[in-house]
Chains A and B, each alone.
Chain A
């Protein structure tokens, strides 16, 4: 801490001095990528969202208007936002709840060999195509699928269960199956690093498994848990595969809606949707940061 504090007190006098400041130098590559590849197109898209649709060319013309944003509220787009964000949130919650015990087994209750093998096992399916994995769920959950065949053969039900597929249930299953590893990985990273001595100390003080878990492990692993939740939430928010393949008739998500809108060359609306999503999520993250102190959680938690 002393070393860092003294660094911050000295303000460089030259450009070279500034560039040598660790924080600036270290963050430069990331900033370059984010600004050049991320911010630049986003700014363009945001500007274009205020342009009008040009019926003459079916492209856009520089007449500024709020028409796209008005359309967002008037043509039934907002319910899709709500549904997608809700679905992403629910998926993230389920994945986090399921991932934590798995990560605990890997990180805290296994030797290094077993842990490494389990981690690899969680990663392998990702090397196959996510699209056909979701497609395969149709064959597993369908009316003539495996699950129904077994249920009927065993006699649990007389008729195949209809709601196993093309329902919210199927979408949830598909998403959890697709995104669980995203939640497991960060948690394993953090759980595996919890110091032996702390856990042993807790045991020595008389805490049982659950108490240690609740009062020692969980707080220490919070960055990993938050990271896992965030990862699943982000990918679930932007996906269209599971909903299209496993959802009910014509179920929509933000990604599907953007495609629908672009198909009728309503580009300003598509850009408005994208801009709104980014703004909305940024606000949500800002609020989460204020209330939960997200960024502070990732600072060193010196135990």
Chain B
């Protein structure tokens, strides 16, 4: 039987209930985003819906010239990527440390977690004082530093959760066969936690992308996107911010749609890929949440 097939068989009733709750969750998450998308086609200044006959792309055109917003978007992307690139490996290595640790792992775990509870404003202010003392000029680097701290416990926990599938006897087996710790990590652990690493990366990016309390005290002259949005909401927003949100949604949906169309054409049995699918598309499916490694069979 194909190991990629769905596993849990459910009665129609249970299936309907679970699918219903899934749908409810998606509806809640998407309601505001879809509203904003539809409202972004409203050429007037008022945030609100208009009948489709009045739809206009004027705010999207205005968005292309809205440098304040676009520079802020660039800054946020840079900070987000830096945060994700740094926090993910650190989180993974901390999770590995947790696994290898002895009696002190409880303390270590709690130490990582307690940092999550520092209120963002105060964290940002405190860090900015320290950077000032060390004569470190505020810029996207200082923002990324604070965001790495913010994202680290999340990256750590996600890595830890995904490490639950790596059993010590697998590592022991690899070591017995002569592999070094490093080789055992690359060949055994990493493939198994691939989904967790990717999740961790995306998590860290999104946490940083949406964070503004810490960023406020640590930005250089270029504000990040949340700060610009926050300022716009406080002092007068041009509807280009809704066009930005709409654009993100449209682009994302386009990508997902492409994925689905290609997937349909190259669908293999049991939901996998046909052998004929081009390698690049297979790459897109790197994150297969329920792919089972042969090791687990």
Contacts and interface: CB of A to CB of B under 8 A. Distances in A.
Given A185-B158, A234-B116, A255-B119, A30 B152 contact: yes
Contact of B162 (A114, A146, A193, A274): A193
A-B residue pairs, 4 tightest by C-beta = A111-B271, A41-B126, A27-B97, A26-B97
16 contacts: A22-B100, A29-B94, A42-B126, A102-B18, A111-B4, A125-B30, A132-B36, A134-B32, A181-B29, A186-B157, A192-B291, A193-B290, A208-B11, A259-B121, A300-B163, A300-B168
B253 interface: yes
A237 B117 contact: yes
A130 B152 CA distance: 21
Interface string A180-224: 110011101110111111011001000011101100010000011
A230 B165 CA distance: 20
Interface of B: 3-11, 14-15, 17-19, 21-22, 24-26, 28-33, 35-36, 39, 47-49, 89-91, 93-94, 96-102, 105-106, 108-123, 125-127, 129-130, 145-146, 148-149, 152-154, 156-158, 160-169, 171-172, 175-176, 181, 195-196, 199, 202-203, 206, 209-210, 212-213, 225-226, 229-230, 233, 241-242, 244-245, 248-249, 252-253, 256, 259-260, 263, 267, 270-272, 285, 287-292, 296-297
Nearest to B252: A124
A135 B233 contact: yes
Given A34-B152, A128-B245, A109 B15 contact: yes
Nearest to A234: B116
A72 interface: no
B100 A106 contact: no
B8 A104 contact: yes
Nearest to A245: B233
Nearest to B101: A23
Nearest to A225: B161
Contacts of B196: 189
Interface residues of A, number: 122
Contacts of B241: 129, 132
B175 A3 contact: yes
Given A136-B35, A270-B122, A34 B115 contact: yes
Given A209-B9, A217-B8, A281-B114, 16 more contacts: A38-B123, A40-B126, A98-B24, A109-B6, A113-B285, A137-B31, A177-B32, A195-B296, A196-B3, A231-B157, A234-B116, A234-B117, A274-B118, A289-B106, A289-B110, A298-B109
